[in-house]
């Protein structure tokens, strides 16, 4: 028994195999393959035009891929029309039926499945309860606020108990405060229902905050598919490294490998790097990257014993509420550092023009072969 | 069959399937396209054939020779065009201020102005021409008003004057709506900017508003001209034998003289007039695009 | 409007009077009690309305016009709806050319259409049949219906229909439950427009109708050639009332402003 349970969890529920989609000379998906587990919340993240929406629409059946396969619970969806895929989808514009009441909107999917009227009414009530919109059954979509419309669209997608829930930037049209509240609520709801969910967004914070795993896409390819933490700490490609969060970046040359670490030489002395692509040969060009919040800044001009240090001159300090940003001019270029403002009234104690030194740990340093 | 033949044939199968699947979403166009091809393009081609005597044997230009050798028909063609130009120009001059007023008004005022234009547009041409008969005839409303003021009476009926007035009435709504559509999209702040820069009302109109509304003026003029050279009811009711236009002549040739080939040939002449104006419009528009 | 100079406002008033004059004068004449159209009109009576509303000479054509209008509208809608949906939602090769072709009857003088159609249909023995009349009117009305539908449908994104598909509705049920209700304003506006155009059309009806199938405009035209009495004014008033009522319906459901002017 345990064996079958293990099998079920380890086996992918939804698989995309070698999906390719072109529009004329434009390629939206270049050989995309990912496996999604049952009950997983996956975010598709990337800049506009990266193919994330095309991928979602290919799963829904609204886009026919040139080649490749979409497997749901081991069965191919190729050739299955949209209406028989049994998926729920929430559109960025919500796409509510303006000529129907809230109850008719939510009940539409059940009506199409020829459910009896009484059953539809009960299911609709339940779905509206789920999104906390019980009192609005007889309203028309035009009488609702954006946030309410969003909840109705969600209820409409959930009421048929779909195998997979597809969300195409569902929160993009909401204002910032409401969006944050909805992120949490949506995630709670998804975990409560245990529904496999795919969420398209261009907002990295939203993706990292909500998803079990994030697929970062770039020009039709999946660059990396991993948990938010791994994605952030161990980006697989320079694109992922720079797309998610911020990075200080400068060029260097690989000098030596020492087990897992490597030594690179830059315009400002040697730097110890934690991880580097095995393919880079000694003498090869690399791009070194360090996140701003991993860097320390202190007064003075010499290295203070850290593995990695670079001297510089403070160009400016920007206070932004919970954080303070410092910009330092160094031989390696402009470095940004970030400090959390943990104590009230504390100041960095530095002023523009001060001589400073920027230090960071070897394990926070990554390098990629130069493109 | 050799293997080469099979190889040559096999790629053709997916290709033809590809063409079919690419065409299948276009089935929706089929009913309308088929309808228009059969009942619109077909009759026009038959009309052309009829005018060239092709329904009997060979092609002959006898009907066209008849038209272009007779000073009477040439005069009818010329007067049809002159009438069209005159009505277009008058419509543009009196329609522009009205269109501008519509574009710059709002709410109830705008709705009322639009109703004032759309209602006559939708009242039958026969009914409207009858209205003008009542207004313009010897003992009609206009002369009653004139004589009660002690002014000399006018005889506009059965002359180009009455025909022109009634046609302007028929065509004016088309001109006003075309102009208003363009003026509507014109940002009033442009005029304010011009005024701030020291332009007078007239200078603002001539340098800003008019150039920017030329597109609407052209669309309206083409529309009015093509409709005008094709209309015959107004001329039939308000005109006389001395006010003959091409469409009315076609109708008479068909209905009274039963000279189908001749009517067909005159139809082609009328069609040519309309097509050349439309061609001119397309050309003007293309040069404008190329310039910008 | 209120910011316009006085001359401009006076001019607008004059043009509005010019536009209204022939319509108003007919309504005025229709209520005369006199035997002839005279000025100033004498007396007030409904006798001319009584005459035309009981006279088969006017009532049969009025009924014919109504039937023809309804049939032309229905046929135009049946032809235009699939074409509009295809043009908006599908990749149509040479879309501009296809659309220009479909709208081309708009620029053709109706007298040419009428004569050509007469030549054409006569070959099938349909020269003056009701079907010929219907075909002629549909050619005139279908471009208006198509244009109105395109205007409405192009403004609606495909997501709503896609949402219906993901909820389990097939193509046909999506069309029936979602697309059709969404384009209803366009259907109504285009339909009323088509009806009014058919109801007013003269050239095709003049050449393709018989005494049995004659329409109101044609019978008015032939009546006016020989008669000049307030009966015509009365039946014209009836026609004007029908048009104004339809226009008011259109205004309530769609807004005439939106129909004739671009939305800002």
Q: How many Å lie between the alpha carbon of A90 and the closest alpha carbon of chain C?
A: 8
Burial C230-241 (b: 16+ CB within 10 A, else e): bbbbbbbbbbbe
Mean pLDDT over residues A249-275, rounded?
83
- In the structure encoding, which two tokens stand for residue A361, read together? 């740990």
Single out the residue of B175, B177, B282, B267 nearest to residue B223, CA to CA: B175
CB contact under 8 A, C182 and A98: yes
Q: Which residues of B are less than 8 Å from C257 in CB distance?
A: 110-111, 114
- Residue among C19, C116, C260 whose CB faces B172 most closely: C19
Query: Does any domain span residue B30?
Result: yes
pLDDT of residue B56: 67
Judged by a CB distance cut-off of 8 A, whether residue A360 touches chain C is no
Mean pLDDT over residues A54-70, rounded?
93
A140-171 residue pLDDT tens: 999 999 999 999 999 999 999 999 999 999 99
Biggest distance spanned by C-alpha atoms of chain A: 79
CB contact under 8 A, C169 and A89: no
B210-242 residue pLDDT tens: 888 888 899 899 999 999 999 988 998 888 888
- DSSP character at residue A65: -
Query: In which band, very low, low, confident or very high, does the pLDDT at A345 lie, cut at 50, 70 and 90?
Result: low
**Which residues have C-beta within 8 Å of that of residue C190, sequence separation ≥ 6?**
C76, C77, C80, C144, C145, C146, C147, C148, C149
Q: Answer whether residue B96 shows pLDDT above 80.
A: yes
Evaluate whether C196 touches C78 at the Cβ level (below 8 Å): no
Evaluate whether A348 touches A339 at the Cβ level (below 8 Å): yes
Query: In which band, very low, low, confident or very high, does the pLDDT at A270 lie, cut at 50, 70 and 90?
Result: confident
Q: Measured between alpha carbons, how far is B181 from B183 in angstroms, rounded to an integer?
A: 6
* Global ipTM: 0.88
**Residue, of A26 and B151, whose pLDDT is higher:** A26
Q: Answer whether residue B4 shows pLDDT above 60.
A: no
Query: Does any domain span residue B11?
Result: no
pTM of the model: 0.82
Evaluate whether B83 touches B167 at the Cβ level (below 8 Å): yes
Q: Which residues of A are less than 8 Å from C174 in CB distance?
A: 83
Q: Answer whether residue A91 shows pLDDT above 90.
A: yes
Which of the residue ranges A262-266, B151-155, B202-206, C77-81 has the most confident prediction, judged by mean pLDDT? C77-81
Query: Does any domain span residue B93?
Result: yes
**Helix boundaries (H) for chain C:** 6-30, 47-53, 56-89, 95-103, 110-122, 130-154, 159-166, 171-174, 180-182, 184-200, 203-208, 216-226, 230-253, 256-260
Pick out chain C residues at pLDDT < 70.
1-2, 39, 254-264
- In the structure encoding, which two tokens stand for residue A247, read together? 């990075």
Mean pLDDT over residues B57-69, rounded?
85
Q: Answer whether residue B5 shows pLDDT above 50.
A: no
Please give the residue range of the domain that contains residue B41.
16-60
In a shared domain, residues B223 and B147: yes
CB contact under 8 A, B126 and C217: yes
Residue B230, domain CATH: 1.10.3720.10
Give the right CATH number for C48-260 from 3.40.50.300, 1.10.3720.10, 2.120.10.30, 1.10.340.30. 1.10.3720.10
Q: Measured between alpha carbons, how far is A21 from A28 in angstroms, rounded to an integer?
A: 6
Evaluate whether A231 touches A251 at the Cβ level (below 8 Å): no
Q: How many Å lie between the alpha carbon of C40 and the closest alpha carbon of chain B?
A: 7
In a shared domain, residues B237 and B121: yes
In a shared domain, residues B142 and B200: yes
Number of CB pairs, chain A paired with chain C, less than 8 A apart: 71
Query: In which band, very low, low, confident or very high, does the pLDDT at B55 lie, cut at 50, 70 and 90?
Result: low
Query: Does any domain span residue B188?
Result: yes
- Residue among B43, B100, B274 whose CB faces C120 most closely: B43
Evaluate whether C159 touches A91 at the Cβ level (below 8 Å): yes
Judged by a CB distance cut-off of 8 A, whether residue A247 touches chain C is no
Map out the domains of chain C as residue ranges.
Answer: 48-260
In a shared domain, residues B38 and B92: no
| Secondary structure E strands in B138-268 | none
In a shared domain, residues B121 and B222: yes
C232-262 residue pLDDT tens: 888 889 888 888 888 888 777 766 666 666 5
Query: In which band, very low, low, confident or very high, does the pLDDT at A265 lie, cut at 50, 70 and 90?
Result: confident
CB contact under 8 A, B123 and C1: no
In a shared domain, residues B33 and B91: no
pLDDT of residue A114: 92
pLDDT of residue C2: 65
pLDDT of residue A28: 92
CB contact under 8 A, B118 and C26: no
In a shared domain, residues B105 and B230: yes
- Percent pLDDT > 90 in chain C is 43
In a shared domain, residues B47 and B116: no
Query: In which band, very low, low, confident or very high, does the pLDDT at B17 lie, cut at 50, 70 and 90?
Result: very low
Point out the domain boundary residue: B33, B60, B87: B60
Q: Answer whether residue A127 shows pLDDT above 50.
A: yes
CB contact under 8 A, A87 and C166: yes
In a shared domain, residues B116 and B242: yes
In a shared domain, residues B237 and B194: yes
Number of domains in chain B: 2
- Residue among B43, B166, B230 whose CB faces C109 most closely: B230
Query: Does any domain span residue B10?
Result: no
Q: Which residues of C are less than 8 Å from B102 in CB distance?
A: 261
Mean pLDDT of chain B: 83
Judged by a CB distance cut-off of 8 A, whether residue C17 touches chain A is no
Q: Measured between alpha carbons, how far is B125 from B144 in angstroms, rounded to an integer?
A: 24
pLDDT of residue A301: 66
Mean pLDDT over residues A285-292, rounded?
91
Query: Does any domain span residue B273?
Result: yes
**Which residues have C-beta within 8 Å of that of residue B265, sequence separation ≥ 6?**
B51, B63, B64, B66, B67
Residues in a beta bridge with A261: A258
- Crossing angle (nearest 10°) for helices A117-130 and A146-158: 130
Query: In which band, very low, low, confident or very high, does the pLDDT at B72 lie, cut at 50, 70 and 90?
Result: very high
Number of CB pairs, chain B paired with chain C, less than 8 A apart: 270
- C-interface mutation test, from B38, B39, B224, B232, most C Cβ less than 10 A away: B39
- In the structure encoding, which two tokens stand for residue A14, read together? 């939804």
- In the structure encoding, which two tokens stand for residue C189, read together? 């506006």
Q: Tokens 């040559």 map to which residue?
A: B8
Evaluate whether A349 touches A343 at the Cβ level (below 8 Å): no
- Rounded-to-10 torsion of CA C115, C119, C125, C131: -40
Query: Does any domain span residue B3?
Result: no
Query: Does any domain span residue B162?
Result: yes
In a shared domain, residues B166 and B241: yes
In a shared domain, residues B37 and B114: no
Mean pLDDT over residues A210-222, rounded?
94
Evaluate whether B91 touches B171 at the Cβ level (below 8 Å): yes
Query: In which band, very low, low, confident or very high, does the pLDDT at A2 lie, cut at 50, 70 and 90?
Result: very low
């Amino acid at each position: 028994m345990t064996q079958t349970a293990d099998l079920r969890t380890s086996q992918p529920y939804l698989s995309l195999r070698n999906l390719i989609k072109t529009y004329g000379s434009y390629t939206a998906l270049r050989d995309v393959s990912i496996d999604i587990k049952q009950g997983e919340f996956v975010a598709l993240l990337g800049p506009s035009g990266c193919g994330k929406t095309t991928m979602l629409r290919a799963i829904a059946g609204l886009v026919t891929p040139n080649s490749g396969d979409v497997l749901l619970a081991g069965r191919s969806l190729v050739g299955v029309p949209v209406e028989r895929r049994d998926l729920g989808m929430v559109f960025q514009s919500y796409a509510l039926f303006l000529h129907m009441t809230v109850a008719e909107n939510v009940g539409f999917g059940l009506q199409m499945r020829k459910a009896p009227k009484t059953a539809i009414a009960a299911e609709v009530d339940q779905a509206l309860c789920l999104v906390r919109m019980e009192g609005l059954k007889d309203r028309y979509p035009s009488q609702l606020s954006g946030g309410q419309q969003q909840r109705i669209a969600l209820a409409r997608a959930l009421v048929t108990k779909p195998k997979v829930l597809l969300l195409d930037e569902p929160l993009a049209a909401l204002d910032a405060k409401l969006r944050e509240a909805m992120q949490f609520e949506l995630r709670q709801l998804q975990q409560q229902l245990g529904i496999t969910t795919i969420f398209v967004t261009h907002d990295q914070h939203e993706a990292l905050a909500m998803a079990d795993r994030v697929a970062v896409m770039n020009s039709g390819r999946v660059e990396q598919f991993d948990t938010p933490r791994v994605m952030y700490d161990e980006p697989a490609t320079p694109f992922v490294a720079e797309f998610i969060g911020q990075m200080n970046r400068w060029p260097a040359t690989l000098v030596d490998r020492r087990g897992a670490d490597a030594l690179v030489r830059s315009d400002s002395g040697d730097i110890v790097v934690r991880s580097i692509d095995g393919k880079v040969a000694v003498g090869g060009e690399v791009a070194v990257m360090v996140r701003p919040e991993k860097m320390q800044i202190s007064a003075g001009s010499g290295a203070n014993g850290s593995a990695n240090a670079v001297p510089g001159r403070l160009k400016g300090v920007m206070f932004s509420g919970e954080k303070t940003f410092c910009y330092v001019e160094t031989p390696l270029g402009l470095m940004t550092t970030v400090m959390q403002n943990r104590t009230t009234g504390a100041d960095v104690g530095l002023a523009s023009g001060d001589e400073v030194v920027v230090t960071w740990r070897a394990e926070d340093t990554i390098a990629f072969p130069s493109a | 069959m050799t293997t080469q033949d099979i190889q040559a044939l096999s790629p053709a199968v997916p290709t033809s399937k590809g063409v079919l699947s690419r065409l299948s979403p276009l089935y929706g166009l089929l009913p309308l396209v088929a309808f228009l091809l059969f009942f619109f393009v077909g009759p026009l081609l038959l009309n052309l054939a009829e005018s060239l005597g092709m329904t009997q044997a060979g092609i002959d230009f006898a009907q066209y020779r008849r038209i272009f050798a007779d000073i009477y028909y040439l005069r009818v063609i010329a007067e049809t065009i002159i009438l069209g130009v005159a009505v277009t120009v008058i419509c543009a001059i009196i329609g522009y201020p009205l269109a501008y007023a519509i574009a710059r008004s709002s709410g109830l005022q705008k709705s009322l102005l639009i109703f004032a234009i759309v209602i006559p547009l939708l009242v039958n041409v026969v009914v409207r021409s009858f209205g003008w008969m009542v207004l313009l005839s010897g003992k009609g409303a206009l002369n009653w008003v004139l004589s009660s003021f002690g002014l000399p009476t006018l005889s506009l009926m059965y002359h180009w004057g009455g025909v022109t007035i009634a046609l302007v009435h028929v065509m004016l709504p088309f001109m006003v709506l075309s102009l208003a559509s363009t003026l509507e999209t014109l940002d009033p702040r442009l005029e304010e900017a011009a005024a701030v820069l020291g332009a007078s009302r007239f200078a603002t109109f001539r340098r800003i508003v008019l150039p920017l509304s030329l597109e609407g003026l052209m669309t309206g003029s083409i529309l009015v001209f093509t409709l005008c050279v094709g209309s015959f009811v107004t001329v039939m009711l308000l005109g006389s034998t001395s006010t003959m236009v091409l469409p009315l002549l076609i109708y008479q040739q068909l209905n009274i003289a039963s000279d189908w080939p001749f009517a067909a040939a005159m139809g082609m002449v009328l069609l040519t007039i309309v097509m050349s104006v439309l061609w001119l419009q397309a050309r003007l528009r293309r040069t404008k695009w190329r310039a910008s | 409007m209120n910011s316009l100079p006085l001359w401009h406002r006076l001019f607008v008033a004059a043009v509005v009077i010019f536009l209204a004059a022939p319509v108003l004068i007919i309504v005025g004449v229709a209520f005369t009690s006199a035997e002839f159209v005279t000025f100033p009109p004498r007396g007030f009576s409904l006798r001319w309305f009584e005459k035309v509303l009981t006279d088969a000479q006017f009532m049969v054509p009025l009924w014919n016009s109504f039937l023809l209008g309804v049939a032309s509208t229905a046929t135009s809608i049946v032809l235009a709806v699939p074409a509009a949906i295809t043009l908006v939602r599908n990749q149509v090769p040479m879309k501009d050319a296809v659309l220009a072709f479909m709208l081309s009857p708009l620029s053709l003088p109706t007298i040419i259409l009428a004569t050509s159609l007469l030549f054409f249909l006569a070959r099938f023995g349909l020269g003056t049949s009701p079907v010929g009349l219907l075909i002629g009117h549909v050619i005139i009305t279908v471009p208006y219906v198509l244009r109105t539908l395109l205007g409405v449908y192009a403004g609606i994104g495909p997501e709503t229909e896609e949402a219906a598909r993901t909820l389990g509705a097939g193509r046909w049920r999506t069309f029936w439950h979602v697309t059709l209700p969404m384009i209803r304003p366009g259907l109504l506006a285009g339909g009323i427009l088509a009806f009014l155009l058919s109801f007013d059309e003269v050239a095709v009806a003049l050449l393709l109708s018989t005494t049995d199938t004659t329409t109101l405009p044609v019978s008015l035209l032939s009546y006016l050639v020989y008669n000049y009495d307030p009966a015509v004014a009365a039946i014209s008033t009836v026609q004007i009332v029908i048009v104004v009522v339809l226009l008011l319906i259109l205004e309530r459901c769609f807004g005439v402003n939106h129909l004739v002017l671009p939305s800002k």
